[in-house]
């Protein structure tokens, strides 16, 4: 079936923490950009700092938005942000709503991340029992090594975690509340200051599937990280809680996918019956039908 993703405004796919041009050996938004372009969309991937606060990354996004607008002659852009990229997109829309047609949060920590809370405590001496702090800190460092090939945890990564904690995002939300639901677990306003807001996310499947953790080490880390969720235990993707991801019109927040599956297809894609590329294509068609 021929797809039609010819949105009125260009689409910018905004990466999150630790993203740059590659994540875990795969290009950012692997296959997604090409599929959208084949369906008629104009797609760009702005490159933001891999580790920085939400506002700084938002300012970087604004500068790259302007270049896209100048190059395409378009008046506005559609922003689709994965993970912390959603917060950068929210910042850009709050500061310059006249240049943003829509913001879509994909697995975004819009109310903070319990994992970030726990990691922040683990990396602060005396906040957690030594063995517990050592275990989670080592797990996190190993995860960063897997993604970026670094042998130790970069100092900037520790600082960036503060911006993703419940407290850090709470302060961010006080300044930029557009699209947030009034009550926990609900949808937020669909439109604020002329900008449409959408979100979708996933939760870890009930069972990892035969051999999946061996085949997909990133998924194994997501399962390990999920143990540190309390409020949203069993309702998270390994890095972000289901209800913490809600923003604007919630398309769905329990796709059977881990945090990285919503960025690029993982080893468990066929078993889960979910294709992340298809979700992005459907959403581009949704934006087109909305005149965006």
Per-residue pLDDT at 213: 46
| CATH superfamily for domain 11-289 | Alpha/Beta hydrolase fold, catalytic domain (3.40.50.1820)
- Total residue length of the chain: 292
Q: Which is more confident, 64 or 157? A: 64
Pick the most confident of 129-133, 260-264, 273-277, 281-285.
281-285
Alpha carbon distance, N-terminus to C-terminus of the chain: 22
Instruction: Name residue, tokens 């460092």.
Output: 141
- The 10s digit of each residue's pLDDT in 214-273 is 467 778 888 988 988 999 999 999 999 999 999 999 999 999 999 988 887 654 454 456
pLDDT of 150 strictly over 80: no
- Two tokens, residue 62: 């604004």
pLDDT of 124 strictly over 90: no
Catalytic residue among 107, 259, 261, 283: 259
Per-residue pLDDT at 267: 44
Q: Which is more confident, 139 or 96? A: 96
Measured CA to CA, the distance from residue 163 to residue 42 in angstroms comes to 31
pTM of the model: 0.90
Annotate 58-87 with b (16+ C-beta within 10 A) or e (fewer). bbbbbebbeebbeeeebebbbbbbbbbbbb
Catalytic residue among 117, 237, 258, 261: 237
Catalytic residue among 15, 52, 83, 253: 83
Measured CA to CA, the distance from residue 50 to residue 21 in angstroms comes to 10
Active site residue 259: yes
């Amino acid at each position: 079936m021929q797809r039609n993703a010819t949105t009125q405004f260009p689409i910018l796919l905004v990466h999150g923490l630790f993203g740059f041009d590659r994540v875990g050996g795969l290009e950012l938004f692997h296959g997604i950009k090409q599929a959208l372009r084949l369906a008629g969309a104009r797609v760009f991937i702005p490159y933001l700092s891999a580790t920085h606060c939400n506002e700084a990354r938002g300012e970087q996004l604004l500068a790259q938005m302007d270049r896209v607008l100048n190059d395409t002659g378009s008046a506005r852009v559609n922003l689709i942000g994965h993970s912390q990229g959603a917060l950068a997109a929210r910042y850009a829309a709050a500061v310059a709503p006249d240049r943003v047609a829509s913001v879509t949060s994909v697995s975004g920590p819009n109310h903070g991340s319990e994992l970030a809370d726990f990691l922040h405590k683990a990396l602060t001496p005396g906040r957690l029992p030594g063995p517990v702090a050592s275990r989670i800190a080592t797990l996190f460092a190993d995860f960063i090594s897997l993604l970026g090939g670094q042998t130790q945890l970069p100092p900037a990564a520790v600082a960036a975690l503060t911006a993703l904690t419940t407290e850090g995002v709470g302060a961010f939300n006080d300044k930029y509340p557009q699209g947030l639901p009034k009550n926990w677990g609900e949808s937020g306003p669909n439109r604020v200051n002329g900008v449409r807001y959408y979100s979708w996310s996933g939760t870890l499947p009930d069972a990892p599937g035969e051999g999946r953790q061996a085949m997909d080490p990133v998924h194994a880390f997501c399962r390990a990280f999920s143990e540190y969720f309390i409020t949203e235990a069993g309702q998270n993707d390994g890095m972000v809680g289901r209800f913490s991801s809600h923003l604007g019109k919630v398309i769905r927040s329990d796709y059977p996918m881990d945090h990285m599956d919503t960025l690029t297809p993982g080893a468990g894609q066929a078993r889960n019956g979910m294709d992340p590329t298809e979700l992005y294509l459907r959403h581009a068609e949704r934006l087109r039908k909305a005149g965006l």
